[in-house]
């Protein structure tokens, strides 16, 4: 469900939070592009825009994938994005599920006149993780790339695809690329407590662009490996991330980095933006009357049936944002921008929609006693994690995934301005579309390429406005 601000606005957002899971259905409009899969099935892709913190979507319709919309194991996956391009992975048939080697890769190009959908040659026998593939647009062509570390020496294998002009078919190439002057082991050595000892594991990609076509393969725990895809002999340059915050020292290289970190390139592509959170989760404490003085086993059993009392120990979080100018020079160029704590956030005190949604989130899914307790608490009673950085040119807005402490709690997207400590927006998310509390979107500037002379239609899906002529 969208917020009232989204429903009533016909302006196009400057950037969107693109859901990594698509809708398996047809919803054609002026953004629709068509093609065929590798087994000659027709396929169409449509973009549906929404204002952050609501999620935007891609609708993907393919007769060979006519399955239940909630079967997320078959939902085509949004991999990465750059400008007006989105890289997708689509299973070839229902039996293939989401095995990369059994999937087709497509590049969707949003064009105000006519959007295009390009099928890429499958990179088989290579099999890439969704987190490690970058896309770069340059001129009327595009490149897709990933790096894999060889097992026997300290270098990487660059797998690179260049399209022909206007997206015409190209081919995959592979070449070994060295890392020039590795820095991360000097700047931020791996502690003895670390369970993951790999030098680099790509967990996200960023596109810096420029004349050399620079992309960054990001290990969100350790650093960025920068690669100039348009150079004849590309090399990898190592750029460590800021040192881990104290609250994450024990978690460093021992847990999912998405939970507390994110990195992005702003739309002007002159700044890298980075955020780290230190999170203490809220915990529920339940207790019953003491049974230590029970005289018999049966009396002790009866005590087990007594109503349990409930209390909530609030959590908290601290968020720090950083920036680095592009072109990148040295690790010393990281600049701390601002720090904010959850207790410093200025919550709306009047009966606004944001306030009502937060109160619903705080009191969802529990007993009446739990609801009464949670409704009186602040952000400390919520799980808030998985930050996504805004890619606007000059702000410190961070989008968080949030839910209450109950298993049946609703999930919401919350926008926080870390520089001012203000709540920018709250929206309810469609929990049926995501399995578990986990990262579910990427920031993309694709909406800037929508045709704005038409009017917005009335089609509503997950809060998105499907733009029609």
Q: What is the pLDDT of residue 269?
A: 97
The H or E element that residue 158 is part of is strand 155-162
Backbone angles phi, psi at 447, to 5 degrees: -65, -25
The H or E element that residue 302 is part of is helix 297-304
Give the HSE-up count for residue 369: Cα atoms under 13 Å, Cβ half-sphere.
8
The H or E element that residue 355 is part of is helix 353-362
Look at residue 47 and give its three-state secondary structure: strand
Strand duo 16-19 + 55-61: pairing: parallel
Q: Quote the tokens at residue 454.
A: 């038409």
Place of tokens 């995959």: 172
Exposure of 104 by Cβ count < 10 A (0-12 exposed, 13-18 middle, 19+ buried)? buried
Q: What is the DSSP letter of 23?
A: B
Q: What is the pLDDT of residue 459?
A: 40
Omega into 16 within 30° of 0, i.e. cis?
Answer: no
Q: What is the DSSP letter of 421?
A: T
From edge to edge, which strands make up the β-sheet containing 383-389?
383-389, 397-403, 411-417, 422-428
Residue 62 Rama label (left phi>0; alpha psi -120 to 50; beta): beta
Exposure of 340 by Cβ count < 10 A (0-12 exposed, 13-18 middle, 19+ buried)? buried
Judge contact between 443 and 12, C-beta under 8 A.
no
Report which of 22, 70, 83, 14 is spatially closest to residue 48, judged by C-alpha positions: 22
- The rounded distance, in Å, linking the Cα atoms of 135 and 142 is 7
Q: What is the pLDDT of residue 467?
A: 44
Residue 298 Rama label (left phi>0; alpha psi -120 to 50; beta): alpha
Omega into 327 within 30° of 0, i.e. cis?
Answer: yes
Q: For 163-287, where are the E strands, in sequence order? A: 171-180, 204-209, 214-219, 223-228, 236-240, 261-265, 271-280, 283-287
Per-residue model confidence as pLDDT tens for the chain (469 residues) = 333 233 334 578 999 999 998 888 888 999 999 999 998 999 999 999 999 999 999 999 988 776 666 667 678 899 999 999 999 999 876 665 556 668 899 999 999 889 999 999 989 888 899 999 999 999 999 999 999 987 667 799 999 999 999 899 999 999 999 999 999 999 999 999 999 999 999 999 999 999 999 999 999 999 999 999 999 999 999 999 999 999 999 999 999 999 999 999 999 999 999 999 999 988 877 766 565 667 788 888 887 777 777 777 889 999 999 999 999 999 999 999 999 999 998 876 665 777 778 777 776 544 444 444 444 446 888 889 999 999 999 899 999 999 887 766 778 899 999 999 999 999 988 767 766 788 999 999 999 998 754 333 334 444 444 443 3
Q: What is the pLDDT of residue 418?
A: 95
Q: What is the pLDDT of residue 159?
A: 97
Backbone angles phi, psi at 30, to 5 degrees: -70, -10
Exposure of 133 by Cβ count < 10 A (0-12 exposed, 13-18 middle, 19+ buried)? buried
Judge contact between 19 and 55, C-beta under 8 A.
yes
Q: What is the pLDDT of residue 151?
A: 67
Q: What is the pLDDT of residue 375?
A: 47
Strand duo 214-219 + 204-209: pairing: antiparallel
- At the top level of CATH, which class does the domain 4-467 belong to? mainly beta
What is the residue extent of each domain of the chain? 4-467
């Amino acid at each position: 469900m969208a917020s009232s601000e989204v429903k009533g606005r016909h302006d196009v957002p400057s950037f969107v939070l693109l859901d990594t899971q698509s809708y398996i259905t047809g919803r054609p409009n002026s953004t629709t592009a068509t093609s065929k899969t590798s087994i000659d099935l027709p396929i169409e892709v449509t973009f549906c825009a929404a204002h952050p913190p609501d999620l935007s979507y891609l609708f993907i319709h393919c007769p060979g994938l006519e399955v239940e919309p909630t079967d997320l194991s078959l939902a085509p996956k949004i991999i990465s994005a750059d400008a007006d391009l989105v890289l997708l992975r689509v299973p070839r048939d229902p039996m293939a599920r989401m095995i990369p080697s059994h999937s087709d890769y497509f590049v969707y190009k949003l064009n105000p006149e006519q959007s295009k959908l390009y099928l890429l040659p499958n990179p088989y026998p290579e099999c890439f993780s969704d987190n490690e593939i970058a896309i770069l647009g340059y001129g009327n062509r595009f490149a897709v790339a990933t790096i894999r570390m060889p097992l026997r020496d300290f270098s990487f294998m660059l797998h690179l695809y260049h399209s022909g002009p206007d997206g015409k078919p190209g081919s995959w190439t592979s070449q070994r690329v060295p890392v020039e002057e590795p820095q991360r082991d000097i700047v931020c050595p791996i502690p003895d407590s670390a369970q993951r000892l790999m030098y680099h594991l790509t967990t996200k990609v960023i596109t810096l662009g420029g004349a050399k076509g620079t992309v960054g393969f990001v290990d969100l725990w350790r650093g960025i490996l920068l690669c100039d895809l348009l150079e004849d002999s590309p090399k990898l340059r190592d750029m460590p991330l800021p040192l881990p915050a104290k609250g994450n020292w024990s978690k460093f290289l021992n847990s999912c980095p998405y939970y507390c970190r994110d990195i992005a390139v702003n739309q002007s592509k002159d700044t890298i933006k980075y955020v780290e959170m230190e999170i203490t989760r809220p915990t529920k404490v339940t207790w019953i009357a003491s049974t230590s003085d029970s005289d018999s086993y049966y009396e002790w059993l009866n005590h087990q049936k007594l109503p349990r009392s409930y209390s909530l120990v609030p959590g908290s979080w601290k968020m720090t944002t950083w920036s680095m100018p592009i072109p990148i020079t040295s690790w010393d160029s990281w600049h701390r921008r601002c720090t904010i704590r959850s207790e410093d956030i200025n919550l709306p005190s009047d009966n606004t929609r944001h306030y009502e949604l937060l109160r619903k989130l705080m009191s969802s899914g529990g007993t009446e006693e739990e609801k009464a307790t949670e409704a009186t608490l602040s952000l400390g009673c919520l799980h808030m994690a998985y930050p996504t950085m805004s890619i606007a040119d000059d702000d410190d807005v961070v989008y968080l995934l949030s839910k209450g402490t109950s298993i049946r709690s609703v999930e919401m997207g919350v926008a926080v301005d870390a520089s001012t400590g203000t709540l920018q927006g709250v929206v309810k998310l469609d929990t049926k579309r995501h399995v578990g509390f986990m990262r579910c979107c990427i920031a993309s500037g694709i909406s800037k390429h929508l045709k704005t002379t038409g009017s917005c239609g009335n089609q509503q899906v997950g809060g998105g406005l499907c733009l029609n002529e």
